[in-house]
Amino acid sequence: MEMMKILIYNMKKYRKKRRISQMKLAGMLETSTSYIGEIEINSRVPSLAMVEKIANALNIEPFRLFIDDSEPKDDIQQETEDYLECLTTKERKDLTQRIVMSITSEVEQILQPETEK
């Protein structure tokens, strides 16, 4: 799928998931409803600055607007993505820190000489 189609698909998906109308999104972005509609029908291309504003308004990282997730996912993968998407920035940082600490601990155990185990 081409990049603009992926952007449009994801923009609509996240907007609808958060129950935000085009009008409300336009208000959040201080732009016109017709501009949002034109993006969503692929007659206008938003600037990178506008893509970032859209992502912020939808409460997602900008790169998520460019992920082609058109392939079906299994239930566990979808649940995991839904869970991660609902986390606040602080919760993401805390989770990342816990994961890194856990991996570091496991790697240290693996790398210990046999005599210390």
What is the DSSP track for 10-37?
A: HHHHHHHHTT--HHHHHHHHTS-HHHHH
pTM to 2 decimal places: 0.60
Average pLDDT over residues 95-117: 82
Closest C-alpha among 18, 71, 61, 22 to residue 44: 22
CA atoms within 13 A on the CB side of 101: 6
Closest C-alpha among 63, 18, 9, 61 to residue 40: 9
pLDDT tens-digit readout, 8-64: 999 999 999 999 999 999 999 999 999 999 999 999 999 999 999 999 999 999 999
pLDDT at 82: 77
pLDDT at 59: 94
In contact, 7 and 41? CB cutoff 8 Å: no
pLDDT range class, residue 108, cuts 50, 70, 90: confident
Average pLDDT over residues 2-11: 93
CA atoms within 13 A on the CB side of 85: 17
Average pLDDT over residues 87-114: 85
